[in-house]
A and B are shown apart, each in its own frame.
Chain A
Amino acid sequence: MHIVKQLMAIPGVIAAGEFAYRGDRFSYEGALTDEFARMASILCRANTLSVHMQSEIFDSFAENCGCKPVQGWIVRGAKISVCAVGNYFCFIENRAELLNDVMTIMRAKVGDVRDDLLVNLYAAIGGDTQEALY
């Protein structure tokens, strides 16, 4: 079963989706409008790239310290949390054990994110990061 459908089958999951390199390509299911899903995709992509940049800095000071490559991140709100693993995101209610379950499923289904996340995200929409800009 596709990861988004699998996540949406869990009680307490509000929405789940997938975003691409530019953040303007996305797919989702759940209680979001198209516009809100677009915004969520851009936000998740920006945060993902930010924490990847941070892990590069940590790694330059302590090689193989265990942080790189970053697999994802979590924002814990008062009643809602947002989880991102690789290029998938999930909005969930703060129910007992739900966060742990969702993170376990996302890590298992997405698999280990490798160092070339940016390349993979761009390739997913047919892009080539080696392509000359001019």
Chain B
Amino acid sequence: MELDKLMQLPGAMAAFTYSDKGDLQEHVIREGTEITPQVLDLLAHSCVANQAVAAMEARGWEALTGQGGFEPLQGFSVVGMEWSVVVNGNCGVIARNRDVDYEATFNALQAD
């Protein structure tokens, strides 16, 4: 995973990878932002949890409604006040809301 490449996405403030359990592995934080490694570590754990919940919901939704199109999931994003975190698999990007391009970010995470 090339974090430097992800940092070129619009509004990117940080990029990070994490283990299947949510432990922070690699990270890059843009200088001058409020993001700290501790926040990234907590965020990584929540990313694993949110993706697992979303996968369960997608599978349940498809089974109950017969509506396909969710699985396999291609990511999850939480939109905060100032920034959004966009994740897929074991990698995530934090991007400033005023600049973020959700589609480009999901696509970049999907490609990597």
B75 near A78: Cβ-Cβ < 8 Å: no
Quote the shortest CB–CB distance from B102 to chain A (angstroms).
5
List residues of chain A with CB within 8 A of the CB of B53.
47, 50
For window 57-79 of B, CB contacts with A under 8 Å fall at 57-58, 61, 64-65, 67-79
Report A8-43 CB contacts with B as 1/0, cut-off 8 Å.
000000000000000000000000000010010001
List residues of chain B with CB within 8 A of the CB of A71.
79-81, 97
List residues of chain A with CB within 8 A of the CB of B69.
77-80
Considering residues A36, A64, A78, which has the most beta carbons from chain B within 10 angstroms of its beta carbon? A78
Interface size class of A (residues with CB under 8 A): 35 or more
A77 near B74: Cβ-Cβ < 8 Å: yes
The reply to whether the CB of B8 lies closer than 8 angstroms to some CB of chain A is no
Complex Cα gap A64–B35 (Å): 10
A62-B36, A99-B102 as given contacts; A73 in contact with B79, CB under 8 Å: yes
A50-B53, A62-B38, A77-B69 as given contacts; A55 in contact with B80, CB under 8 Å: yes
Partner of A65, one of B36, B58, B73: B36
Complex Cα gap A100–B99 (Å): 11
For window 18-37 of B, CB contacts with A under 8 Å fall at 34-36
Interface size class of B (residues with CB under 8 A): 35 or more
A62 near B39: Cβ-Cβ < 8 Å: yes
B38 near A61: Cβ-Cβ < 8 Å: yes
Partner of A76, one of B36, B65, B68, B74: B74
Partner of B88, one of A36, A51, A76: A76
B65 near A36: Cβ-Cβ < 8 Å: yes
Other than the given A62-B34, A100-B101, 10 more pairs (CB < 8 A) read A58-B39, A58-B46, A62-B36, A66-B34, A66-B81, A67-B80, A69-B81, A70-B80, A75-B54, A76-B76
Residues in chain A within 8 A of chain B (CB atoms): 36, 39, 43, 47, 50-51, 54-55, 57-58, 61-62, 64-80, 85, 96-97, 99-100, 103, 107, 112
